[in-house]
């Protein structure tokens, strides 16, 4: 049990780092600072978006692999308990999480391709929309994971 709990904590920490990186990038891309950054919010918005691409891809893949591994344990322990407790909404929303994680993963090749040509105006709109969708997926999965863990997670 300690092994799986440790993996879950690492998975959560990686997800947190990913959440921070993708939120930074999405905000800087959609709401860029025009003048010199002064306040905290302005500094948050003024990060160089391009520098986050590699980190986001690596963090996403690492978080995904760990999540997919932990999922094997969840499937025949926590999920069975959730079903016995008739927590069907929690089970359902976790099912959605697996699909959202997959869709996020397959966005990465296009995300990387659009950011590789970060100076190209041709890909500007695609870059913005893919980054926003990826951020929404990461946020959704983070929150769903949090809810599921609260229902029947670590130490329960």
Q: What is the contact surface with another protein in residues (CB under 8 A)?
A: 68, 71-73, 75-76, 79-80, 86, 88-89, 91-93, 95-96, 98-100, 102-103, 106-107, 109-110, 112-114, 123, 125-126, 129-130, 133
Min dist. Cβ of residue 110 to another protein (A): 5
Min dist. Cβ of residue 44 to another protein (A): 24
Min dist. Cβ of residue 96 to another protein (A): 6
Closer CB to another protein, 99 or 146, in the complex: 99
Closer CB to another protein, 13 or 102, in the complex: 102
DSSP 118: T
- Smallest CA-to-CA distance from 145 within 80, 86, 78 is with 78
Report residue 97 as tokens: 């999480």
- Smallest CA-to-CA distance from 104 within 73, 75, 144 is with 144
Q: Is 100 exposed, middle or buried (0-12, 13-18, 19+ CB in 10 A)?
A: middle
């Amino acid at each position: 049990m300690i092994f799986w709990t440790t993996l879950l904590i690492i998975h959560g920490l990686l997800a947190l780092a990913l959440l921070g990186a993708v939120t930074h990038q999405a905000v800087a891309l959609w709401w860029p600072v025009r003048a010199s950054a002064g306040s905290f919010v302005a500094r948050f918005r003024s990060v160089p978006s391009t520098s986050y691409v590699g980190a986001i891809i690596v963090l996403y893949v690492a978080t995904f692999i760990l999540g997919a591994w932990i999922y094997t344990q969840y499937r025949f322990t926590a999920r069975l308990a959730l079903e016995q407790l008739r927590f069907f909404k929690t089970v359902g929303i976790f099912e959605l999480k697996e699909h959202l994680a997959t869709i996020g993963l397959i966005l990465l090749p296009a995300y990387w391709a659009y950011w590789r040509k970060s100076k190209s105006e041709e890909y500007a709109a695609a870059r913005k929309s893919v980054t926003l969708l990826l951020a929404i997926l990461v946020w959704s999965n983070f929150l769903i994971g949090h809810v599921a863990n609260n229902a029947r997670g670590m130490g329960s």
